[in-house]
Amino acid sequence: MEEQIESIATPKPQLRKVILIAALLVVLISGALTFGGYYYVTGEVLFGLDGLFASEPEEITFEMDSFLVNLRGSRSHYLKATIALSFMDPEAKDVVQAYRSQIRDTVIQYLRSKSQEDFVQSDNLEPFKAELKAQIDLLFNEEILYNIYFTEFLIQ
């Protein structure tokens, strides 16, 4: 008789697992319904969790027209370059288009300040890109550009 009372008082291990899983499901479903209901009513996500669903901003490029300039110290050496400006803010494209003439002037002045030897001595264009980016960003009084890409670069 005591064995029967003991077996009734303590549930079997499998029954414990089923009860635990059912309780977890009830908690998860009620939480999902709470968050879903709040979002449905207010259109906002609780606790700033919308950051979890935000995607990374996409890099946008804006290709400029080609530049053909004399290099410093020589009338017979020319540089032809085409650059693309990149930025992460979609609204920056309108700003860049509005400043297109000023950007062209800045790029032309920068490229004309360089000599053929400046480009020959450097193995890559990264320092030139960084300097040019900084000068263009001065037009906006803030960092709008993400990067500058040379899509064409020819010295003659």
Sign of the four-CA dihedral 113, 153, 156, 65? negative
Interval 5-43: pLDDT, tens: 555 556 577 888 889 999 999 999 988 888 788 877 887
At 85 the three-state DSSP class reads strand
Please state the pTM of the whole predicted model: 0.64
Interval 137-156: pLDDT, tens: 999 888 889 999 999 988 88
At 62 the three-state DSSP class reads strand
Domains of the chain: 12-52 (no CATH), 60-155 (3.30.479.30)
